[in-house]
Amino acid sequence: MLSEPSKSRQVFNPAKVGKSNVTIPGANILARARNTETQARAEREMMATVELDTRLSIAYHEAGHAAMVYWRCESLHERRLVLHADRFGGANLVPMYESCKSDLMVLVGGNLAQLLAAGIVPTRPIRKPNEYRQPNGDSTRIRNLVKALRAGKDDRKYQFEVQERCGEIIEAPKMWQAISAIAKKLASDGVITGEECERLFEACGAPRCPQTGSLS
């Protein structure tokens, strides 16, 4: 069964992310534990749940990038999405450039899909300050590209407009269905090929941009 974006929406408030409004998966398992033996087992179960949820969250991120590549009618052949087993994070071996508006959409698609999967609709341009430390981090690349497209200005209003357009595409039911299917396969297998992604986008009838020439 493929899921749609959560109906119960939270407004994105960066100050609250990771704090009290976030439910820890498996917390109820702990609450049910009655003695130390079951408590230890419950803790192991809880960690497994958190691990799975973290992988799924990152998988949505990578699927979001791939969705925008697919949307702009670019081939995903000989590309793949991978999750790192040994450290926190994932990678997409899909083409991501920094020269035009649709490149910005591809860059923004990752964090956006990740938040939407958590039922959070961002109300401001997504930037993660900790990503600025990595020259290849999404936020660094987004900032650089926004400046390049807006005559040197870090125009966040512009980023938000592009992000909102991205959101319309990602949240289109058929696109979201494909993103969910790709993320679930990536989370369980640790890798998914570009060909398999394309097959899922096509099987779900995910939309593609009608005129690639109008994107830049």
User: Which stretches of the chain bind Zn ion, using CB under 5 A?
Assistant: 110, 138
Give whichever of 29 and 138 is closer to Zn ion, judged by the CB atom.
138
Least separation in angstroms between residue 103's CB and Zn ion is 13
Of 9, 51, 58, nearest to 26 by C-alpha is 51
Neighbours of 41 (CB within 10 A): 12
Give 38 or 99: the residue with its C-beta nearer to Zn ion.
99
Q: How far is the CB of 109 from Zn ion (least distance, A)?
A: 8
Whether 193 contacts 27, CB under 8 Å: no
209, amino acid identity: C
Distance CA 61, CA 132 (A): 18
Segment (H or E) for 178: helix 173-189
- Cα separation, 55 vs 57, whole angstroms: 5
Rounded to the nearest whole angstrom, what is the least distance from the CB of residue 208 to Zn ion in the complex?
A: 21
Which residue number, 94 or 175, has a Cβ lying nearer to Zn ion? 94
Contact of 212 with 69, CB cutoff 8 Å? no
Which residue, judged by CB position, is nearest to Zn ion in the bound state? Answer: 110
Rounded least distance, CB 65 to Zn ion, Å: 6
- Cβ distance to Zn ion smaller for residue 49 or 140: 140
